[in-house]
Amino acid sequence: MNNITGNPAFALELNELTVRYGPGCPSCGESPESLDRNRCPVCGSVWAVRGVSLRAREGETLGIVGESGSGKSTLMRALHLDEAPTSGAYFLDGGEENLFGVSPRRRRYIRDSLLGMVYQNPYLGLRMFFSSGANVAEKLIAAGSRNVRGMTERAEYLFRYMEIPFSRVKEPPRNFSGGMQQRVQIAKAVANNPPVLLLDEVTTGLDLSVQARVLDLIKRVQREFGVTMIVVSHDLAVVRLLADRTAVMRDGVIIEQGLTDRILEDPRHVYTQTLVNSML
């Protein structure tokens, strides 16, 4: 299943990703059935993600749903190359290099130029003590821009687009509401027009009305920027709204994946059935 190069049909391809926290041991390494949910009772290691494979075509949005602790954020951090996984292969745009094996400088380039990420926790995605404009500029600087005016104009454009009042461009995001912080994160994530956008629980913790507006915004970005997106949520309603296809995660494993409509209308796995029923 592990191929050595990416398939040109896919903008994003992940093969057999495994992320283990802890040393692992013969018991959990050889028989995953021995795990207690995602944890090895013998050595205490957490198998946060196990053998996860994903494929997304250009412009497609892939939804990931699952309960708390199922490994969604761990998966997203791996896709953003924030931490090295235990094993797996990752290709963008049918490329030949496994992105999990590249040099630190190359990794930085890929993260800065080809990926955009919105973190579940805005404190991970934003510099709270810099101005919001500078937060957007950071991404542009990282991708090589050295033009103050150009960067400031880009930040202003994106703020207008994200419906962030222009007057707040010089304010640090720590002064902002949760919804506004997420908008700044989205502005920062799309600043370089990256081909791939990773969104981890963008609307969690927001008021319903704010949630609706942020979701509208993401739909607009989806349409107008033509990006390939991975959208993580524990909320099936969010995924239904955004995702073409959906994968259901539990205890680090994908237990079911398919077209979002199919998953919602005809869930096959008992766990998915419970999820769908609880949504209705």
Partner 1 sequence: MVKKRSKHYNFAFLDEGSKRVIRRALLKAVAIPGYQVPFGSRELPIGRGWGTGGLQITLSVIGPGDVLKVIDQGSDDSVNALSIRNFVTACTGVETTTDSGEATLIQSRHRIPEAPLKAGQIMALQVPMPEPLRLVEPHEAVTRVMHAEMDYAPMWLALYESIVRTGDIELGADYPVMVEDRYMMMPSPIPRFDNHKLHMSPALFLFGAGREKKIYALPPYTRVVSLAFDDHPFRVESTHGRVCRLCGAADVYFDEFFDSATGGRLYQCSDSGYCEKRRRAGARATEPAAPTA
Ligand X SMILES: Nc1ncnc2c1ncn2[C@@H]1O[C@H](COP(=O)(O)OP(=O)(O)OP(=O)(O)O)[C@@H](O)[C@H]1O
Tell me which residues touch ligand X (CB under 6 A): 21, 38, 46, 48, 66, 68-74, 120, 234
Confirm or reject binding of residue 146 to partner 1 (CB under 8 A). Answer: yes
Whichever of 143 and 210 has its CB closer to partner 1, that residue is: 143
- Among 73, 211, 233, 257, the residue binding Mg ion under the rule CB under 5 A is 73
Whichever of 79 and 191 has its CB closer to ligand X, that residue is: 79
- Residues 47, 22: Cα–Cα separation, whole Å: 8
The two three-digit tokens of residue 255, written as one number: 């237990």
- Residues 117, 95: Cα–Cα separation, whole Å: 20
* 43 touches, from Zn ion, ligand X, Mg ion, none (C-beta below 5 to 8 Å by class): Zn ion
Burial of 31 (0-12, 13-18, 19+ CB in 10 A): exposed
Looking up tokens 């708390």 gives: 68
Whichever of 140 and 198 has its CB closer to ligand X, that residue is: 198
- Residues 20, 98: Cα–Cα separation, whole Å: 19
Site for Zn ion in 22-41 (CB under 5 A): 25, 27-28, 40
- Residues 179, 169: Cα–Cα separation, whole Å: 15
- Residues 203, 49: Cα–Cα separation, whole Å: 23
* 130 touches, from ligand X, Mg ion, partner 1, none (C-beta below 5 to 8 Å by class): partner 1
Smallest CA-to-CA distance from 245 within 262, 268, 265 is with: 262
Looking up tokens 């749903």 gives: 65
- Considering only 20-28, 45-53, 87-95, 115-123, which stretch makes contact with Mg ion by CB under 5 A? 115-123
* 151 touches, from ligand X, Mg ion, partner 1, none (C-beta below 5 to 8 Å by class): partner 1
The 3-state secondary structure of 122-138 reads HHHHCCCCCCHHHHHHH
Mask for 99-128, x = binds partner 1 (CB under 8 A): -----xx--x---x--------------x-
Site for Mg ion in 120-159 (CB under 5 A): 120
Strand partners, 196: 115, 228
* 150 touches, from partner 1, Zn ion, Mg ion, none (C-beta below 5 to 8 Å by class): partner 1
Looking up tokens 């821009």 gives: 145
* 125 touches, from partner 1, ligand X, Zn ion, none (C-beta below 5 to 8 Å by class): none
- The distance of closest approach from Cβ of residue 22 to ligand X in the complex, given in angstroms and rounded to an integer, is 7
Confirm or reject binding of residue 203 to Mg ion (CB under 5 A). Answer: no
* 102 touches, from Zn ion, partner 1, ligand X, none (C-beta below 5 to 8 Å by class): none
Is 202:117 a contact under the CB 8 Å cutoff?
no
Reduced DSSP (H G I as helix, E B as strand, rest coil) percent helix, strand, coil of the chain, to 5: 40, 20, 35
Residues that bind partner 1 (CB under 8 A): 104-105, 108, 112, 127, 130-131, 133-134, 137-138, 141-142, 146-152, 170
**Contacting residues toward Mg ion, per CB under 5 A:** 72-73, 120
